[in-house]
Amino acid sequence: MSPLRRRVPTWSELRPLLRVERPTLRRTDAALARAATIEDLRRLALRRTPRAVFDYVDGAAEGEVSLSRSRQAFADVEFRPRVLRDVSRVDAGVDLLGVTSPVPIVLAPTGFTRMMHTEGEWAVARAAARAGVPYTLSTMGTVSVEDLAADVPDVQRWFQLYLWRDRDASRSLVRRASAAGYGTLVLTVDTAVAGQRLRDVRNGLTIPPALTARTLGGMALHPRWWSNLLTSEPIEFASLTTSGGTVADLVDRMFDPGVTLADLAWLREEWAGRMVVKGVQHPKDAVDLVAAGVDGLVISNHGGRQLDRAVAPLELLPEIRAAVGPDLPLLIDGGVLNGGDVVAAVARGADAVMVGRAYLYGLMAGGEAGVDRTLEILLTQVHRTLRLLGVARLAELTPEHAVRRHTTSPQMHHTTPWRNV
| Cα distance between residue 133 and residue 106, in whole Å | 6
Cβ burial, residue 183 (10 Å; 0-12/13-18/19+): middle
CB 355 within 8 A of CB 107: yes
Catalytically annotated residue among 117, 302, 383, 401: 302
| Cα distance between residue 418 and residue 337, in whole Å | 11
Closest CA to 64 of 319, 421, 302: 302
Q: What share of the chain is helix, strand, coil (3-state, %, to 5)?
A: 45, 10, 40
The residues near 74 (Cβ < 8 Å, ≥ 6 apart) are 314, 335, 336, 338, 340, 341, 344
Q: Give the H/E segment covering residue 294.
A: none
- CA distances to 80, 278, 374, 421 from 320, rounded to whole Å, are 23, 13, 29, 36
Cβ burial, residue 167 (10 Å; 0-12/13-18/19+): middle
Distance, C-alpha 159 to centroid of its chain: 15
| Antiparallel, parallel or unpaired: β 184-188 and 157-161 | parallel
Give the type of residue at 364.
Answer: M
Query: Got the DSSP string for 226-292?
Result: HHHHHHSPPP--SS-S---S-HHHHHHHHB-TT--HHHHHHHHHH--SEEEEEEE--HHHHHHHHHT
302 flagged as catalytic = yes
CB 329 within 8 A of CB 96: yes
| Cα distance between residue 215 and residue 226, in whole Å | 9
Catalytically active residues, by annotation: 302
